[in-house]
Amino acid sequence: MQARVVVFPVKGRAWCFALPRASAAAPAADGALPRPTLRDLWRGISSGSRTAPEKAEAVVDFVADKMNRAWVGFGSAPEGSMKSRIHSFGLKLLSRVRPSEVLLKSVTKDVSALEIVHPASINSRLVRRRLRHIAVRGASVHKKFLYGSVCLLPVTSVFMVLPLPNIPFFWVLFRAYSHWRALQVCEISPT
């Protein structure tokens, strides 16, 4: 599958790299996707037709889907509730994530090629060089932060004994997942 990256200058040397959502990835007509169950996950893992990395990927996708559905639920909570406050705090934290990480993380597993769309006033060689720089630099940065996030998981899991939501644990878990996804995209060899 081929994905499209849209590049345009914002101000000075700052550029915006965006990966628009494909219309094919839009939800079904009723607006809801079927919810994967734990039974479906177990059937997929226990079948002998998958390799160990494919099984691990299935577990990661299942957990990521559950977390995304919970996040959407927090966003639709009534104003002033604890879920609404957690959602607004999470949005503040998400605004601090680097745009290059968001770009790398948004490239899905089935993408094999990138089509780069940019204004004619920008040299295409320069655009490709910047994208390559983002990927090469991202490999070392995301590997370092992935290891740091994984090391922080046991420390933040201590807060599970409190009767409050364990926001630090889930934030560090989300950051570990984000760095892992971005690192997967950075390590794809260019063709």
Q: What is the pLDDT of residues 70-91, one digit of tens each?
A: 888 888 999 989 889 989 998 9
- Going by the DSSP 8-state scheme, the letter that residue 160 receives in this structure is G
pLDDT tens track for 131-149: 888 888 888 999 999 999 9
So what's the pLDDT on residue 143? 94
Secondary structure percentages of the chain, helix, strand, coil, to 5: 60, 10, 30
Residue 88: name the closest of 152, 53, 80 by CA: 80
pTM: predicted TM-score of the whole model, two decimal places: 0.77
